C-alpha cells in the first residue's frame, strides 16, 4: 500500500496557518492605519478650522487702516499657497490682499465653510484645491475673506498612506520568505517519517519513526506510533512462537499417521475401492 506524498504549496497545514496569520496581521494593520488616518485627518481638520477662526477673531478687532496694516503684516508670516486673504468694499470690489474675487461657493455668513475648489487664479501663491474659507463683515462695512488650504492636511495623510503601503509590503515580503523557510523543515521531517512508514508497511516491523530533540507535536505523534509498533511487534512474535509450537507438535503425529496409511495402502488390493480411499487420505 502506497502512502500519500507530503502536501506541497498551500495544501500543507503550516502554509495555511502562516497564510492565515499573515492575512490577519495585514488586515489588522490596515484597520489600525485606517483608524490612525481618520483620527489624524479629523484632528488636523479641526486644528485648521480653529486656526482660521482665531485669525478671524483677531482681525475683527481692527478697522480702517489698522486692518489693512495687520493683514499686510500677517502676509510675512503666512505660508505661501496655504493661507491668503482678500479685503473688499461693500460692492465686493477688491481693496487689498492677493485674493481679488470672492469664491463663488462661499456664503457671506461669517461662518467657516469647506470649499472643494478654493480660488480660481493663475497665481501659484494662492490655494487652489480644497480649503476652508470664511467671509467676515467688518465694523466699517467692508468684507474680509480668509482662506486656509487643506494641502498640509493632504500632505500628512499622504505620509500615513505611504506608511500603510510600506507596512503592508514589509509584512507580505518577510511573511512570504518566512513561509518558505518555515515550511521546509516540517516537510523534511514528514518525508523522513514517510520513508520509515513505507518500510513498515512493506513488512519490516523493526523500523521506527524518527524522533528529533525538539519534542514537538510531530515527535509526540511519532512516539505514540513507535509505542504501537513495539506492541504490535511483540504480539506478532508471540503469535509466531505459538504457531511454531503448534507446527512442531503436529509434525510428529502427522508423520506417523502418514506412515501407517502408506503401509495399509501397500497391503490393500490395487483396484479395490478401499485402496482409492486410502490414496485420497
Choose one of 188, 221, 242: the last residue of a domain.
188
Domain that holds residue 101: 1-188
- Looking at the structure, do residues 42 and 164 belong to the same domain, yes or no? yes
- Looking at the structure, do residues 164 and 265 belong to the same domain, yes or no? no
- Looking at the structure, do residues 37 and 136 belong to the same domain, yes or no? yes
Cell of 17: 496557518
Mean of pLDDT values over 106-135: 79
- Looking at the structure, do residues 177 and 264 belong to the same domain, yes or no? no
- Looking at the structure, do residues 77 and 128 belong to the same domain, yes or no? yes
Separation of alpha carbons 86 and 109, rounded Å: 16
Assign 272 a pLDDT band (cuts: 50, 70, 90): low
**Selection from 10-24, 72-86, 170-184, 225-239 with the highest mean pLDDT:** 225-239
- Looking at the structure, do residues 233 and 119 belong to the same domain, yes or no? no
Pairing of strands 143-149, 83-88: antiparallel
Choose one of 188, 216, 233: the last residue of a domain.
188
Report pLDDT digits (tens) over 138-168: 888 888 888 887 766 666 667 777 777 787 7
- Looking at the structure, do residues 5 and 136 belong to the same domain, yes or no? yes
- Looking at the structure, do residues 166 and 273 belong to the same domain, yes or no? no
| Planar angle of CA 66, 51, 154, nearest 5 degrees | 130
- Looking at the structure, do residues 174 and 232 belong to the same domain, yes or no? no
Q: Pick the closest to residue 249 from 241, 259, 260, 237 (CA basis).
A: 241
**Predicted local distance difference test score (pLDDT) of residue 1:** 46
Amino acid at each position: 500500500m502506497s502512502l500519500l506524498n507530503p502536501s506541497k504549496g498551500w495544501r500543507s497545514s503550516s502554509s495555511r496557518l502562516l497564510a492565515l496569520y499573515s492575512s490577519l496581521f495585514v488586515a489588522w494593520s490596515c484597520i489600525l492605519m485606517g483608524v490612525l488616518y481618520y483620527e489624524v485627518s479629523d484632528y488636523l481638520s479641526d486644528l485648521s478650522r480653529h486656526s482660521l477662526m482665531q485669525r478671524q477673531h483677531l482681525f475683527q478687532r481692527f478697522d480702517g487702516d489698522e486692518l489693512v496694516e495687520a493683514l499686510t503684516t500677517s502676509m510675512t508670516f503666512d505660508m505661501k499657497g496655504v493661507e491668503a486673504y482678500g479685503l473688499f468694499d461693500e460692492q465686493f470690489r477688491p481693496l487689498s490682499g492677493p485674493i481679488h474675487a470672492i469664491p463663488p461657493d462661499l456664503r457671506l455668513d461669517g461662518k467657516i465653510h469647506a470649499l472643494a475648489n478654493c480660488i480660481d487664479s493663475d497665481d501659484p501663491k494662492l490655494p487652489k484645491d480644497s480649503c476652508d474659507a470664511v467671509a467676515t463683515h467688518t465694523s466699517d462695512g467692508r468684507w474680509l475673506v480668509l482662506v486656509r488650504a487643506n494641502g498640509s492636511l493632504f500632505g500628512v495623510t499622504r505620509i500615513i498612506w505611504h506608511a500603510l503601503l510600506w507596512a503592508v509590503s514589509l509584512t507580505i515580503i518577510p511573511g512570504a520568505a518566512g513561509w518558505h523557510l518555515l515550511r521546509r523543515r516540517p516537510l523534511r521531517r514528514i518525508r523522513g517519517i514517510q520513508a520509515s512508514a513505507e518500510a513498515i508497511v512493506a513488512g519490516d516491523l523493526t523500523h521506527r519513526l524518527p524522533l528529533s530533540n525538539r519534542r514537538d507535536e510531530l515527535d509526540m505523534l511519532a512516539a505514540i506510533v513507535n509505542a504501537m509498533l513495539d506492541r504490535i511487534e511483540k504480539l506478532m512474535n508471540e503469535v509466531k512462537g505459538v504457531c511454531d509450537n503448534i507446527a512442531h507438535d503436529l509434525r510428529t503425529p502427522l508423520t506417523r499417521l502418514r506412515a501407517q496409511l502408506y503401509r495399509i495402502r501397500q497391503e490393500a488390493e490395487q483396484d479395490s475401492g478401499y485402496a482409492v480411499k486410502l490414496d485420497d487420505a
